[in-house]
Amino acid sequence: SQKIEQNSEALNIQEGKTATLTCNYTNYSPAYLQWYRQDPGRGPVFLLLIRENEKEKRKERLKVTFDTTLKQSLFHITASQPADSATYLCVLGPSGSARQLTFGSGTQLTVLP
């Protein structure tokens, strides 16, 4: 069956360091993958989309990679700030019998001052 996994543990890092979040999936071949940010009591907010033929995408301090062979996406936040503290959701585009977006359970990132 199709499965999507993000970092199982919450991630704590020191301000100024690079945060790296991992998203692994099995039994999918999505045409694209998205990352969203979710703050407590709020809905998710779209950050980045990367397509299967793109290896890397950047936006300001954010960088996403997409390795369709490893079935993995990495999400990096460089020069992290306490304001980056939130839950980050990996989302797979439709694939096979999954006709809709499939959300991971998220990684809770805390950036310590």
Residues contributing to the site for other proteins (CB under 8 A): 32, 34, 41-46, 49, 89, 91, 93-94, 99-101, 103-106
Which residue lies nearer to other proteins by CB, 84 or 104? 104
In angstroms, the CA 32 to CA 35 distance is 10
In angstroms, the CA 13 to CA 48 distance is 22
CB of 113 to other proteins, least distance (A): 26
CB of 31 to other proteins, least distance (A): 8
Which residue lies nearer to other proteins by CB, 28 or 93? 93
Which residue lies nearer to other proteins by CB, 20 or 103? 103
- Smallest Cα–Cα separation from 12: which of 106, 82, 90, 105? 82
In angstroms, the CA 66 to CA 80 distance is 21
CB of 112 to other proteins, least distance (A): 22
Cα dihedral across residues 28, 34, 37, 43: positive or negative: negative
